[in-house]
Structure 1
Amino acid sequence: MTLTDRLTRWRYHYVPDHLLGEILSKRWIDNAVPVLFLGLTLSVFGALIPGFFGADNMSNLLRQWGEFGLVVLALTIVMAAGGIDLSVGSTFALGNIAALALIGVADLPLPLVIAGTLACGALVGLINGVLVGYLRLRAFLTTLVTLIIVRALVDSILLSYAVPIAAAFPDSEPWFFMGEGSLWGTPFSVVVALIAAAGLHLVLTRTRAGWHVLAVGGSRRSAHNVGIPVRRVICLTYVASGTLAAGAGLLFASRLGAAGADIGVGMEIAALTAAVLGGNSLGGGRSSAAKAVIGSVIVMIMVNSLVRMGLTSGANSLLLGTVLLIAVAVDVRWMRNKHKFLSKVYVSPTWADLPVAPPTSAGSPYALNDRLAPVQSIGLGEIDGPEDVILDADDHIYVGNRIGDIIRFLAPDYTRQEVFAHVGGRPLGMAFDSNGGLVVCIGGMGLYRIDKDRSIHKLTDETRRSLFSVIDDSRLRLADDLDIAPDGRVFFSEATVRYEMHEWPVDCLESRGNGRIICYDPRDGSTRTVLKNLVFPNGICMCHDGQSFLFAETWACRISRYYYDGPKAGRTEVVIADLPGYPDNINRASDGRYWLALVGMRTPAFDLGLKMPGFRRRMVRRVAPDEWLFPNINTGCVLRFDEAGEVHETLWDRRGENHPMITSMREHKGHLYIGGISNNRVGRLPLPGADPDWTGMTSYWGQK
């Protein structure tokens, strides 16, 4: 290894370039900038204003924030569905005067006061919802008109009832407690706002109604096409908005007990600034309660601090307008360029150096031949993408397809087929357990078992998250292949924790070691990671000693052995370090050896590119994905090897006519059955000299 290679290896080994892409891909990254801005705001005003962090100032700020936070949450709900509500300030004022009139003039009990006030806000929201949702009027103009009408209504009520309201003194302790009381040392209004924020968070993230709201905000046409009642959803968001805004006015009335023409004026601008500043999108579909809370705290601190510093109300408006303009510009630019920027930084190639590829010329154990030419085709044109193939005790063939079916070809002639089970995801590796249940790795879903009665059971779809991992590696993205130990434990590979099923070739561009091997124990239902940092781990096959298994690392072009039990437990040994191609599934052979599928062959250009991570990074950033340099996965080969790593025979299809891409093979009663994720058939090849009675089921579980 040259000095340049050594330095390049150290640089890409110790500098985690992929962390930037991982961080930017997280949902919480949208909250990072508002949180930083909140910290900056606290630092600046804390330094400029004496006693800023004092108990009295904090208590006053919290009580004001409780009311303002409810208004921001109200606006956030509408924005989540792709709308806007400029009437929240007027509705706030209506809630304030309605509450004062009901309790001071009408002398109603507090429960009726609360219900009546919220009903006023809900009515305003219903009017907005009907006009915008059902009559499909423009939200901006509609709520602007509502703002004017409701403000005129508030002024009319003031003219008639200002004196009685001012003279009234409600004799109700609960009424004053709402405005001035505390729960567990926290102002009552803050408790209400936090409960509302928690409720909104649960609705948006955990309920069907919340998913409908975000779907409508993301794309109303798409939401309508999938059956979501778009008009009703929009209408209900405005009803919820009006109710929360009126509730905020109710709390304001109980705290100050005053009614005036200027109450709520400009609040819609402050609330809109807070919602957008917190990271809620004006375009809809990207909103959360946490963003609303962060934004409302920032705006409340700025406005209150400017007042304490003696600046005029014009300065407040100027500051809010400037902040809103900047927030909108950042929101629009970030949403427009987020995915473009992320695509340039997420793929993070590292340095990799494969051993010299062995030759495939005459005299080599990998010598080219045409031994796959006599392969017979089963289900030609009737199956799409049989990645793995397996046979049961009755000689039936099982394969998966691209649309989530497991197809069973019925013995003895395999001319008839049926859908054995529909699993929904992409079936990949398969194995039979001791009870005849078919255990399947399903890409994007996890590990499942299909019993003989065709009932489907989820075994696991997550494992323990790594303690210091930026990547959320608890969810299984690409469960690939599996095998079952004598005690029933299932060891399966997850090829990559960074990419989804359809992106698996991109993992090769990184060659970073994003994969792992996981163990599911049916005895206690636990799932744990056994091996990490593997380079696209793929095929897994139990060794005959009952204490270890073989596994393939596709992009590393090697086969290794891991001991999970016995005196060598926890040890990993390399069996074949320099394969000429990319290994896939491994399965037992009748002579005690093992079959291995090579999904494609190495090329000098790509091997050289693995030692040039900078070149691959520039390629990803500057070249269209369909023109990237990918590994060759179009040449099929099957080889047989032993536990010492010696290759005993190879079977090639040099012209690529029968099986251009081979991902799996199974020996069964003197024949080799071949699958390929890009093929439209199952291959069947006679094996001269093979045991005509040997099956995988008896090799694992004996005679049943």
Structure 2
Amino acid sequence: MMSSDTLASLRSRYLPDQMIGEIMSKRWVDNAIPFTALALTVLVMGSIIPDFLSLSSLSDLARQFAEFGLVVLALTVVMISGGIDLSVASVFSLAVLFSLIGVNVYELPVPAVLAGILVMGMICGAINGVLIGYLRLRAFLTTLVSLIIFRSLYEIVFVRMSTSIMSGFSMSDLWVFIGEGTVLGVPVSLVITLIIALAWHLVLSRMRPGWRLTAVGGARRSAFNAGIDVRFMVFLTYVASSTMCALAGFLFAARLGSTGSDTGVGLEVQALTAAVLGGTAIGGGRGSVAKAIIGSLLVLMLTNGLINLGISGPINSTILGAILLLAVFVDMRWQKHRHRILAKVYVSPAYLSLPPSPQVDAPGSPYVLNDRLRSVEIIGLGAIEGPEDVILDRDDNLYCGTRHGDIVRFFGPDHKRSEVFAHIGGHPLGMAFDKIGNLLVCIGGMGLFQVAPDKTVTKLTDETNRSWFSVVDDSRLRLADDVDVAPDGRIYFSEATIRYEQEDWATDALESRASGRIICYDPRTGKTHTEIPKLVFANGVAMCADGQSFMFAESWTCSISRYYFDGPKKGKVEKVISNLPGYPDNINRSSDGNYWLALLGMRGPALDLALRMPGFRKRMARRVAPDQWLYPNINTGCVVKFNEKGEILDNLWDLGGLNHPMITSMREHRGWLYLGGVSNNRIGRYRLPDADPNWCAQDAYWGARS
């Protein structure tokens, strides 16, 4: 019988729970639900109704969709801006009526009729736009009144002109082509609708007017404060809406060549149902062309299917009304609780079994406790915040990043004077110098940057190749955290996780999932690619003396590995240290050919046990406030020295956490060890008694300055 640990391990390995949360976090998941409903509707209707999916039925459906889809798209645009337009059906009916009067009764040229119809639509939309956008009347009541007025106008004109319309007939080939013609087998009206839909897709997703429209719908006050002309944007949406409805009416008139007293009646309910079913938010700020198309097809399929089944018009309308009510209820509940639901399912802890932690208080332990860091010298106390990494140049100047997005330079040799060397933004983390003295910096959430000696800031890369089977977009760099440069100039840097941002590092620790990686950027080609995937919080990168490999850390597995990027062992990963007493962070070279390693926190038996219990950690994430989670002990700072065999040669502790409670980096320079910490407000400097007082990492690696 398998043990509970084995079952937990197998479940964590073969049941990708994290994919549920990743899928739900995607924007397209809003389209997946209505698309699934559409597919089921097609499947059911196609199986119970003969010839429902025949070529002639699909052709007729395409022409209906061309007109109905335009009306739904018009309403969607208004809803994205946070409004509503109940007059879409009345404008549609007026367009049908006046199109037939112009073509059948007065025999006007079709282009002239089309131009007149579009102008009529613009005027109707402008009336709504002025009243709602500039006079700030309520959209629902205003468009309800517009619906009544436009519908009354339709009925007045229809009564007087119906006989003339029915007796008239257009001989225009263009009119017939628009109503019945095809382009490569596709109805002309559908081609027109698809072109307009594509144009709106580009506007909403790729252009500033579309972004502003969405911003207005999301929060009008915030949009106004951002400098957007909210009134004008609202005005434009109603003009665009009525214009598209007028065009839809023109296409309808060309297809049927007649109209009746019930033309357009109830169309606003059908269009609203389609928009909401497609996923457009009633409150504004969310919607797309794809949602409008899916909703339109879904309602058309349902309506045509019910008619083919012999269900009468009133019952048909009742069913659509019930569906609309259900869709509104689901939409409101989903939007209200989406983030809470996502927070519960997105965090998906993995099974991780660590060997027993090495003893740090036993005699003879390589990690034996001491308090040698208690008396370190302090640099920049209170002048900096969050110096995650520190580095020194040939002139003894000390550099560090701050949580305010600055690179601060302390002038050597005493490091009492400082300046803001560069402002990049984000939170600068790992740093390294290249051969010509450029400072390479990893910025959490922004990528890899370069600061030239003249302080010019250049973004090198903020993306890499996307994995074939990754649900999340892992091409974007979320948490680049340490960097080093190979002798040939290639830049290798770690990305801790592809699932979380920097401020959510504790959630990644709770998951302990292999979502980190090592990435390579080649300045010669400008290309970036993932070198080593699936690491557990990748951290710390340091080139080895052979010039063909580098050391890297995996924080939550408490291990150090060596990767060969060149030479006979190319592509091979070797474990160097498999069981540390704490969580490793940055790695850097020492003057004696070995390596310094920072431990950002110490292990504890409770957290080690919890790592073998993913279900327990999942319940903790759901039910316990984050500040009450099990955390690594980050109140004790430690630095260890190790060699390429993984042997521990030295260790330095700050037991009370007086000066450096959370050490994330260290650099040796001219006999001193400089200490950084992502949560500290200072840099420490410790005198190494046996170190080379003339050793400079930049000279040792790249050669002395000529």
Q: C-alpha displacement at 1:700, in angstroms?
A: 2.1
Which residue of 1 is the match for residue 382 of structure 2?
Answer: 381
Task: Give the Cα–Cα distance (whole angstroms) in 1 for the partners of residues 489 and 326 of structure 2.
Answer: 59
1:153 deviation in Å? 1.9
CA distance in 1, matches of 2:489, 2:400: 22
Shift of 1:418: 2.1
Query: Residues of 1 paired with 2:347 and 2:625: CA distance?
Result: 13
Deviations 1:594-632 (A, max 9, x none): 111110101111111111111111111111222122222
Over the residues paired in the alignment, what is the CA RMSD in angstroms?
Answer: 1.7
- Equivalent residue for 2:173? 173
Q: Distance in 2 between matches of 1:295 and 1:119?
A: 28
Task: Give the structure 1 partner of residue 556 of structure 2.
Answer: 555
Deviation for aligned residue 1:206: 1.3
Q: How far 1:257 sits from its partner (Å)?
A: 2.1
Question: Which residue is equivalent to 2:299?
Answer: 299
1:483 equivalent in alignment to 2:484? yes
The aligned runs of 1:362-441 (5 Å cut-off) are 362-441=363-442
- Alpha-carbon separation, structure 1, partners of 2:32 and 2:511: 27
Note the C-alpha offset of 1:223.
2.1
In the alignment, what sits opposite 2:59?
A: 59
Shift, 1:305, TM fit: 2.3
The unaligned stretches of length 5 or more in structure 1 are none
Deviation of the 1:514 alpha carbon: 1.1
Q: Is the partner of 1:555 in helix, strand or coil?
A: helix
1:240-289 Cα offsets, whole Å, 9 max, x none, are: 11111111111112112223332111100000000111111112112111
- Whether 1:191 and 2:191 are equivalent positions in the alignment is yes
SS at match of 1:287: coil
- Separation in 1, partners of 2:410, 2:175: 74
Measured after TM superposition, the shift of residue 229 of structure 1 is 2.2
1:666 aligns to what? 667
**Aligned residue identity for 1:615:** F
| DSSP 3-state at the match of 1:473 | coil
Query: Within 2, Cα distance between the matches of 1:378 and 1:107?
Result: 88
* Counterparts of 2:681 and 2:227, CA distance in 1: 35
Q: CA deviation at 1:159?
A: 3.6
Per-residue CA deviation, residues 420-457 of structure 1 (Å, 9 max, x unaligned), is: 22222221111111121111111111112122232222
Once the two structures are superposed, the pairs formed by residues 84-483 of structure 1 within 5 Å of their partners are: 84-361=84-361, 362-483=363-484
Once the two structures are TM-superposed, the CA of residue 147 in structure 1 deviates from its matched residue by: 0.6
Secondary structure of 1:476's counterpart equals coil
- Map of 1:78 onto structure 2: 78
Shift of 1:194: 1.6
TM-score, length of structure 1 as denominator length: 0.97
Q: In structure 2, how many angstroms separate the alpha carbons of the residues matched to 1:207 and 1:298? A: 28
Q: How far 1:74 sits from its partner (Å)?
A: 0.5
Shift in CA distance, 451/172, structure 1 to aligned 2, threshold 3 Å: farther
Structure 2 residue 483 is the aligned partner of structure 1 residue 501: no
1:609 maps to what in 2? 610
Which position in structure 2 is the counterpart of 1:680?
681
Give how far 1:332 is off. Answer: 1.2
Give distance in 2, aligned partners of 1:552 and 1:567.
Answer: 23
- 1:135 and 1:412 map into 2 onto residues whose CA distance is 67
SS of the equivalent of 2:534 reads strand
Distance 1:158 1:520, change over 3 A: same
Could you list the per-position Cα deviations for residues 358-388 of structure 1 after superposition, in whole angstroms to 9, with x for gaps in the alignment?
A: 1112432212212112222221111111111
Q: CA deviation at 1:459?
A: 1.7
CA, structure 1 residues 127+354, in 2 after alignment: closer, same or farther (shift >3 Å)? same
Aligned-partner Cα distance in 2 for 1:392–1:177: 75
1:128-152 alpha-carbon deviations (Å, 9 max, x no partner)? 1222222222111111111111112
Corresponding residue for 2:16? 16
Gaps of 5+ in 2: none
> By how many angstroms is 1:656 displaced?
0.9
> Quick one: distance in 2 between partners of 1:131 and 1:329?
29
Deviations 1:499-547 (A, max 9, x none): 1121111111111211111111122122111111111011000001000
- CA drift of 1:107 comes to 4.4
| Cα distance change of structure 1 residues 107 and 420 upon mapping to structure 2, 3 Å threshold | farther
Q: Distance in 1 between matches of 2:631 and 2:120?
A: 63
Provide the rounded CA distance (Å) in 1 between the counterparts of 2:327 and 2:266: 18
Q: Percent identity?
A: 60
Matches of 1:344 and 1:65 in 2, distance apart? 39
Aligned equivalent of 2:524: 523
Corresponding residue pairs, total: 704
Which amino acid in the other structure matches residue 616 of structure 1? Answer: R
* Partner deviation per Cα, 1:195-241 (whole Å, 9 max, x = no partner): 22222222221111111122222222222232222222222211111
Aligned partner letter, 2:342: L
Letter in 2 for 1:669: R
User: Partner amino acid for 2:38?
Assistant: L
CA offset at residue 160 of structure 1? 4.1
Displacement of 1:68 in angstroms is 0.2
Cα separation, 2, equivalents of 1:419 and 1:236:
46
User: Structure 2 counterpart of 1:302, which letter?
Assistant: L
Once the two structures are superposed, what CA deviation does each residue of 1:89-124 show, in whole Å capped at 9, x if it has no partner? 011112222323334445444333222211211222
Mean CA deviation greater in 85-94 or 457-466: 457-466
Task: Tell me the TM-score normalized by structure 2.
Answer: 0.97
Whole-angstrom distance in 2 between the partners of 1:685 and 1:102: 91
Q: 2:204 & 2:223 partners in 1: Cα distance?
A: 16
Deviation string, structure 1 residues 620-653 (Cα, Å, up to 9, x no partner): 1111222122222222111111111111111111
User: Which deviates the most, 237-246 or 403-412?
Assistant: 403-412
Amino acid at match of 1:555: W
Match of 2:703 in 1: 702
C-alpha distance after superposition, 1:569-588 (max 9, x if no partner): 11111111111101000011
Inter-partner Cα distance in structure 2 for 1:590 and 1:243: 75
Per-residue deviation, 1:62: 0.6
Structure-2 change in CA distance of 1:161 and 1:415 (3 Å): farther
SS of residue matched to 2:342: helix
Q: How does 1:507-546 map to 2 (within 5 A)?
A: 507-546=508-547
Whole-Å Cα distance in 2 between the matches of residues 407 and 541 of structure 1? 23
Please name the residue that 1:39 is paired with. 39
CA distance in 2, matches of 1:191, 1:313: 30
- Which residue number corresponds to residue 5 of structure 1? 5
1:107 & 1:345 partners in 2: Cα distance?
63
Indicate the larger mover: 401-410 or 645-654.
401-410
* Counterpart in the other structure of 1:598: 599
For 1:173, the aligned partner's letter is D
Q: Which residue identity is paired with 2:322? A: T
CA distance in 1, matches of 2:469, 2:447: 23
Mapped to 1, the partners of 2:13 and 2:658 lie a distance apart of: 41
| Amino acid aligned to 2:630 | L
- Aligned residue for 2:556, secondary structure, equals coil
Cα distance in 2 between the residues matched to 1:160 and 1:393: 93
Distance 1:584 1:636 in 2: 12
Cα distance 1:41–1:541, how it changes in 2: closer, same or farther (>3 A)? same
